[in-house]
Amino acid sequence: DAMVIQNPRYQVTQFGKPVTLSCSQTLNHNVMYWYQQKSSQAPKLLFHYYDKDFNNEADTPDNFQSRRPNTSFCFLDIRSPGLGDAAMYLCATSRDWGEGTGAKNEQFFGPGTRLTVL
Give the binding site for other proteins (CB under 8 A): 31, 41-43, 45, 48, 88, 90, 94, 96-112, 114
Q: Which is nearer to other proteins, 81 or 110 (CB)?
A: 110
| CA 11 from centre of chain | 14
Paired residues of 10 in beta bridges: 114
Residue 16 CB, shortest distance to other proteins, in Å, is 26
Min dist CB 5 to other proteins, Å, is 12
Signed CA dihedral, 31, 103, 43, 23: sign only: negative
CA separation for the pair 92, 47 (Å, rounded): 11
Q: Which of 81, 104, 84 is nearest to 94 (CA)?
A: 104
- Least distance (Å) from other proteins to the CB of residue 19? 19
Q: Which is nearer to other proteins, 81 or 94 (CB)?
A: 94
